Structure 1
Amino acid sequence: MRRSLRSPLPQRHGLDAVRLRTPDDGPWTLMRDHLVERLPRVEPERIDAMLADAEIAGVDGPLRPDSPFVPGTFVWLHRDLPDEVPVPFPIGIVHRDDHLLVADKPHFLSTIPRGRHVVETALVRLRRDLDLPDLSPAHRLDRVTAGLLMFVVRREERGAYQTMFRDRRVAKTYEAIAPHDPTLILPRTVTSRIVKERGVIVAREVDGPPNAETLVELLEHRDGLGRYRLTPRTGRTHQLRLHMAGLDIPILGDRFYPDLHDTALDDWTRPLQLCARTLTFTDPVTGEDRAFTSALALQAWHDHAGWAAGAPTNSVDGPGTGR
């Protein structure tokens, strides 16, 4: 049997259809019966409606309510989306060409669909708004971190750019606003061993050989605050936030470190004052030297009173640059 790897269903809201592979054998007479058992969180009546409306497809086209079960084949469908609160901040475009899209991701916007965040993610928004159905992220940023996020335009070039990030051939710097401690000697390199357990929301530092390294530099200070440049030399989960908290200068707005605070998903006040500021690398496809800079301003530095009061601001200080 010829098996198509691309969905016969178009994207919906910028999302690809889910692909399922049927078992090599089973007791089902109809595809409908298998899907009812396969998708227990979907009401059988909903599966019946999707089949009636040609919203479920196989390799040969839409499935019918009476389509027989076929072992070892593929089925595509769009899952129903969860209710989401719109993230009220725009995505800035720093650079766009035939190969790359570099965006300025705002705080509170996830990179890719996951859990309760699906349509309200950077990937889905950009696919939909820019009509770029094959767009894919070259790397990721945490939902609460703002700044540069790079996407690959062409499907066939994904591997080259994603491998570049995996192999740490990209120089990245971040900017953070945190308390200023005049007794803290900077710059300094912070190292520790960080572990992140599956199902646990926070990471932690433990004894053992270091696996995380960050260069911390103080750029300037005023009114008890410091503006810091952070250069990660590894890429552990929440590394920058843990290392700053470990120096007793936790990043402003951090609701995980040093202490975990439960926060509503639609609370836009006091965003984490951390921005992915620069990306520099040699392009693995074109051979060009690339350098990009985020245009996003960290509110606590430019308007500390407004930030402390909880004003939901995602300000910018000028156009991004890139070449």
Structure 2
Amino acid sequence: MNITKFGTFYRMLPNFQHHFILKMPRHAQTQHGDATVDEENIVLLKNAIYQTVPSTEPLTCTWFYNVDPNVRNYVTAIANQDLKVVLPEKRKADNTEQVEALKKARLETKALKAKRPGFSDDRYDETSYYFENGLRKVYPYYFTFTTFTKGRWVDDKILDVFSREFRAHPPEEYKRSILTGSLKVNYECVPVDYKLKHNDLLSNTVHRHEVPVTDQAITIVHMDEDIVVINKPASIPVHPCGRYRHNTVVFILAKEYNLKNLRTIHRLDRLTSGLLLFGRTPKKARLLEQQIRNRDVEKEYVCRVEGNFPDGIIECKEPIEVVSYKIGVCKVSPKGKDCSTTFEKISYNGTTSVILCKPLTGRMHQIRVHLQYLGYPIINDPLYNHEVFGPLKGRGGDIGGRTDEELVKDLIHVHNAENWLGVDEDFGSEGLILPKHDHIENGDKDVEAVSETSTIVNDDLNKIDKPLLVEEEKEQTNTVSVGTQTGHDPPDTAYNKEKTTVDEHCYECKVRFKDPKPNDLIMYLHAWKYRGPGWAYETELPNWADKAWSETAVE
């Protein structure tokens, strides 16, 4: 049989009246605008089966590359049967309305996936921003999270699932949501002991309060028809996750720069500043992503660490293992993945050193973990420069004799008091358990938090973006200004009480959280230079990288 090659790897079904080619799923590239490939495969397969001319020979299939075993089993099962295909009967819904509701939900889900990474205009219009105390804040708004039941949830009670999987609020709050009907299954109210079934659609309407971020401006480093390069300040996640939605890079760029449907090419930690690249076309995004994956891109970071870093070039090749994906924590471990980082001291001010970092691989938290291992952690790294890793703070891999389970437990315990861990869950989870506060009355915006631990929960270790400056500052910069053509109002320069909504059942409406301090929103790690085949981008160095800088300057 002649094999036709088209693109990368494909598979052919012989004995059909019309030969055809099934495209392989694009895997990582799917997020760059080809999300319907899998659906096309299914349609092509079904059409080919029905169009086949009867034959005395058994139906056979030749497979290439890495074929999904479920698809292989499906084709094999029908291969030696009569060509009249009988598809399995779907689970019937209780009534026509439920069927239509489920179909609508699935269509909306497919439409959302097809439009990734962009969002519809009504999503951008959910709320607006205001600036206060050097922070960009979001007016509270109502939002409905939706998801289909995961396999591990089937036959579990809905209250148990939410109490276990989504720990943003205590079980009592989820119980109230179920009883009042804000948390529904298939758009219908259910009892708290309802057991979830396959394909159940869960929807939870919440009064959402987002975490504030810095009010610094996004600086456009380079922009053309294929790519957008920005200088990202610390504190803003790249895309909606955890407690962040409108206070994210993609929302701010869309609402204030009219830059929509950007493709994420690489990531930075939430607290890290510096170069961030977005593709404006799927082709460009895939090209740059491939260059990074093939290690054709040279990356240079700068950071400020404790102590006098050794002279010369120091290379660290310690493997790094992810201790917990759920809370985003890593450590040096023989069981980890190979990685390499080179460090070179730029300056020393008597107490701290500015270091040039060149990661040769791209492991999670690689620079931060290697510096911790060398004994020179970033001075304001809230995670890897902390006694939770033991008396030596993880130097030389010493985490105080804890097991991984004990370390994660200790990290969560400390987080509940200090609120610096990040969680990226997929159904409205807004971080780990919030610290307990006494309820206070609504209304007076100047009321202070009633607990010393009432600080803002910072919930993501992803990339961040810089918001725009207030009016007085914008005139003094060369950054792209807010365009009226975006159709969105610019951020308010002060809090507007008339734009605030209050929900009597909302937990966070009853609590006045303290604003984070500037040092809570920044870590002294900056993506400085990226260069690849035929291109190079560079940002200005932050002020903390100056040789004469001292900690007293920010106190």
Whether TM exceeds 0.5 here: the answer is yes
Partner amino acid for 1:221?
Answer: Y
Q: Which residue of 1 aligns with 2:211?
A: 84
Look up the match of 1:291.
536
Distance change >3 Å, CA 86–CA 255, structure 1 → 2: closer
Residues 134-149 of structure 1: matches in 2 within 5 Å?
134-149=261-276
User: Contact 1:92/1:104 (CA < 8 Å) preserved in 2?
Assistant: yes
Question: For 1:249 and 1:96, how far apart are their aligned partners in 2?
Answer: 36
Matched-pair contact (CA < 8 Å) for 1:100–1:152: yes
Q: Is the 8 A contact 1:177 1:228 kept in 2?
A: yes
Residue pair 1:176, 1:251 contacting (<8 A) in 2 also: yes
1:141-160 mapped onto 2 (5 Å cutoff): 141-155=268-282, 157-160=284-287
Residue 319 of structure 2 corresponds to 193
Deviation of residue 209 (structure 1)?
Answer: 6.7
Q: 1:105: how far off?
A: 0.6
Q: Which of 244, 255, 258 pairs up with 2:371? A: 244
In structure 1, C-alpha distance between the alignment counterparts of 2:383 and 2:205, rounded to whole Å: 34
Pick the structure with greater CA Rg. Answer: 2
In structure 2, the partner of 1:12 is: 123
Distance 2:353 2:385 in 1: 18
Secondary structure at the aligned position of 2:529 is classed as strand
Counterpart AA for 1:269 = N
* C-alpha distance in 2 between matches for 1:229 and 1:123: 29
Structure 2 match to 1:207: 334
State how far apart, in whole Å, the 2-side matches of 1:22 and 1:247 are.
Answer: 44
The residue identity in structure 2 corresponding to 1:188 is: I
CA RMSD of aligned residues (A): 3.8
| Structure 1 residue 115 displacement after superposition | 0.4
**Alignment partners' CA distance in 2, 1:303 and 1:46:** 55
Alignment of 1:226-305 (within 5 A): 226-259=353-386, 260=388, 262-263=418-419, 264-265=455-456, 266-269=516-519, 271-282=522-533, 289-299=534-544, 301=546, 304-305=549-550
Preserved CA contact (<8 Å) 1:108 1:143: yes
Deviations 1:45-95 (A, max 9, x none): 6699xx9xxxxxxxxxxxxxxxxxxxx9x9x99987443324322211111
- Contact persistence 2:265–2:277 (CA under 8 A): yes
One-letter amino acid of the counterpart of residue 12, structure 1: R
Cα displacement string for residues 294-318 of structure 1 (whole angstroms, at most 9, x for unaligned residues): 124142646644x44645xxxxxxx
Distance 1:136 1:303, change over 3 A: farther
C-alpha spacing 1:140/1:151, structure 2 compared with 1 (3 Å): same
Separation in structure 2 between the aligned mates of residue 202 and residue 121 of structure 1, nearest angstrom: 22
Partner of 1:162: 289
State the Cα deviation string for residues 271-322 of structure 1 (Å, max 9, x = none).
311100001012xxxxxx11111124142646644x44645xxxxxxxxxxx
1:188-215 residue CA offsets vs partner (Å, 9 max, x unmatched): 2101121112224421111247612101
Amino acid at match of 1:117: Y
Letter in 2 for 1:160: L
Higher-helix-fraction structure: 2
Query: Which residue number corresponds to residue 63 of structure 1?
Result: none
Deviation of 1:111 after TM superposition, in Å, equals 2.0
Q: Distance in 1 between matches of 2:183 and 2:342?
A: 53
**1:96–1:102 Cα contact (<8 Å) kept:** yes
Overall identity of the aligned pairs, in %: 21
Q: Tell me, in whole angstroms, the C-alpha distance in 1 between the residues paired with 2:361 and 2:207.
A: 37
Structure 1 residues 273 and 115: alpha-carbon distance in aligned structure 2, compared to 1, 3 A threshold: same
Report what 2:344 is aligned to.
217
Give the superposition deviation at 1:21: 7.5
User: CA shift at 1:236, angstroms?
Assistant: 1.3
- Which amino acid is 2:544 matched to? Q
Which secondary structure state, in structure 1, belongs to the residue aligned with residue 319 of structure 2? Answer: strand
Distance 1:178-1:46 versus aligned 2 partners, 3 A rule: same
Distance in 2 between residues matched to 1:134 and 1:78, nearest whole Å? 26
Does 2:220 match 1:93? yes
Structure having the larger proportion of residues in strand: 1
For 2:285 and 2:240, the matched residues in 1 are separated by: 18
The whole-number CA distance in structure 1 between the counterparts of 2:122 and 2:279 is 18
Amino acid of the residue matched to residue 167 of structure 1?
N
Q: 1:194 to 1:149 in 2, by over 3 A?
A: same
Decide whether the 8 Å contact of 1:14 with 1:127 is kept in 2: no
**1:294 is matched by which residue type in structure 2?**
T
Cα distance change on mapping 1:100 and 1:212 into 2, 3 Å: same
Report if the CA contact (8 A) 2:320-2:336 is conserved.
Answer: no
- For residue 317 of structure 2, give the secondary structure of its aligned residue in structure 1: strand
Return 5+ residue gaps in structure 2 as ranges.
1-102, 127-143, 151-172, 188-198, 389-413, 420-454, 457-515
**TM-score calculated relative to the size of structure 2:** 0.42
Q: Which residue of 2 aligns with 1:102?
A: 229
2:349–2:548 contact (8 Å) kept in structure 1: no
2:239 match: 112
Q: 1:231 to 1:160 in 2, by over 3 A?
A: same
Following the alignment from structure 1 to structure 2, what is the Cα–Cα distance between the partners of residues 82 and 129? Answer: 21
Q: 1:185 to 1:300 in 2, by over 3 A?
A: closer
1:241 deviates by: 0.9
TM-score normalised by structure 1 residue count: 0.68
**Closer, same or farther in 2 for the Cα pair 1:80/1:95, shift >3 Å?**
farther
Q: Decide whether the 8 Å contact of 1:219 with 1:228 is kept in 2.
A: yes
